[in-house]
Every structure is written in C-alpha cells, then in structure tokens.
Homo-oligomer: A and B are copies of this chain.
Amino acid sequence: MTTTGTDTSYDLVAVGNALVDVLSNENDELLGLLDLVKGTMVMVDRDLSDSIYAALSPGVEASGGSAANTASGVASFGGRAAFVGRIGDDQFGQVFTHDLAALGIAFDGARAKSDGPTGRCLVIVTPDAERTMCTFLGVASDLSPDDVPVDLIDNAQFTYLEGYLWDQPTAKEAFRTAAARAHESGRKVALSLSDPFCVERHRVDFLDLIAGDVDVLFANEIEICSLYEVDEFDTAVQKVRNHCEIAAVTRGARGSVVVAGDDVYEVAAHPVDRVVDTTGAGDLYAAGFLYALARGYDCVTAGKLGGLAAAEVISHLGARSEVSLADLASQFLG
C-alpha cells in the first residue's frame, strides 16, 4: 500500500456507533448472575439495559464507541480525524459531542441528532481488568447511507469502519456506501472485526467484505480464528495472507502480528506497569496503526505505535487516552 503523506485533509474518518460508556468495577460473580460472557459485547434493549444498570455499582460516564475511540486516538497522536455517527438530543449526546470537539475531531453534532436517546454501553470491569459490555444502541442505530459525508471520505486517507455497524440494516448500508466511496476516491478502507460474537453473526459477509472492500483489517486472536473457523492462530494467519492488503492481529500481552502480503511481522507488546481496564485496547491499537500508516511509517512502526496507544489506554479506567499520545510517540520515535 502506498500512502500519500500529508496531502489529504484527514488522516482518518471513522464511522461507527456513537456511545457513552458507563463504567463500573464489579466482581466476577455478577457476570454470572447477569448471564454475561466475560470479554464480549452483547446488544440489549432499553429495558434490559436499565435492569442491568440497576444491578451495577456506582459508575463513571465517559465518551466511548469503538470507531469514535479510534478517532480520538488518531487526534491524540496529532492526526486529523473525523467521526460519523448518530446521537440523541440529550446530555449524553452533549457529552459525546463535547469530547470529540475538545480533541479537534470533525463531527457535525447538529446534523447527527436524532429523536431518542444517545446510545450507551455498560462496561463492566472485573478485577482481572477484562471488560464485558452491554450496549443499548439508542439512536446510534439510525445511521444510514444519508449520513455518509462524501466530501470527508474523499479527503481522508483511511475510512475506518467498526464491525458492529453490520448489526443494523441501515448502518450496514452506510458501511457499504462509505467503503465504496472511499475506493472510488482512491482512498483506503479499514475494518475492525469488533467482537467474536459479531464475527459469529456476520462471518460470511465479513469474509466477502475483506476480500473485496477492505485494505486494512484489525482483529484480535479470538476474532481472527473465529473468522476462519480455525483453532490455531498460525492457521488463521495463513488464511488472512492475501485476503486483504494488511491485517493487524492483536494478541494481548503477546503483542501483535502484522501480515502484509507475504511478510509477517511479530511486534512485541509495549510494557505496562499494571493493566487496569482493557476497554478500548483494540480501538487504540487501530488508532496508532492507522496514524502511522497515514504519516508514511512502515507496518512495523505502525504496530509499535498501535501497541503504545493500547498500553496507555489499558493502564487506566476508560477507553480513551488520558495523556497526549503525540508526546508518548515523540519519546518513542525519538
């Protein structure tokens, strides 16, 4: 893949579900009581979201949403990012909009408003730092092809799409529209597989998409194995080769593996003193990776910047970096 340096307006435009996270620390027993599978995301309706919320400890609210987290990471690296997604005309919508604006991310909050509540994600963090999520999409599910800003996509090196979009019919169309437009404009398309359950639900479509519409694929170890229905990680790596231009597969403490055509690079994880909450690890890895590619770095450096951003976000509660990733990167790149 050739990248074009800084001759476009945006490094990345992210399309995804606009969500506010409600984070709380809970013991493992509660997951059992609530019938939740650790480490996964489950979609819930308003009533179920409310009844799960009622069972949780006092929480902390913070802007979230997978693709929006990635946009926030790119901005924190000093990149130019935009976000596309739908919010409600409520306080969570204001919080979501403010937090993007504070990072200089292009987001048309007024145009993005729907009648109804902003989506929320209950993020249950267990003592092992793993997160388990229950998402009530609210008006995030109103995303449709009409929301796709053609001019932004034309001017962004990467159009980044979260797999979760595939769960809603009009959002799926928005996804297809955005990907097609990006390629018409000679831009690149990146996809995150989002979640093992999401892969289960949409395996056939995802396999097809990756072959035809995706240039850079992000997945974790479980997701990539699920995608190809294989047990061995190495087998999955063989399968993803030549399926898309670049695949970046994260493996937690074992770092990441970057597959670029015939080349396979193993990139060690960035050291972390104490893992507090893994929420956002994949999203921030993608941020560092795509920021690096957009700025002309090679795949190995991209994997390292991805690991750097992921290490920062798992060292505290919440899915967005608490410090300037640009500062961390400048220390790292020298």
Contacts and interface: CB of A to CB of B under 8 A. Distances in A.
Nearest to A61: B61
Contacts of A56: 98, 102
Interface in A101-159: 101-103, 117-118
B58 A60 contact: no
A58 B99 CA distance: 4
A222 B165 CA distance: 54
Contacts of A61: 60-62, 95
Contacts of A63: 58
A136 to B, nearest CB: 12
A331 interface: no
Contacts of A57: 102
A310 B313 CA distance: 27
A25 interface: yes
A2 interface: no
Nearest to A62: B60
From A22, A56, A102, name the one whose CB has the most chain B CB atoms within 10 angstroms: A102
Contacts of A58: 62-63, 72, 98-99, 102-103, 320
A297 interface: no
From A53, A91, A103, name the one whose CB has the most chain B CB atoms within 10 angstroms: A91
A114 to B, nearest CB: 15
A54 interface: yes
A208 interface: no
A288 to B, nearest CB: 18
Closest 6 CB pairs of A and B: A61-B61, A58-B99, A91-B91, A58-B102, A60-B62, A57-B102
10 contacts: A56-B98, A57-B102, A58-B103, A59-B102, A60-B60, A61-B62, A91-B91, A91-B92, A91-B117, A91-B118
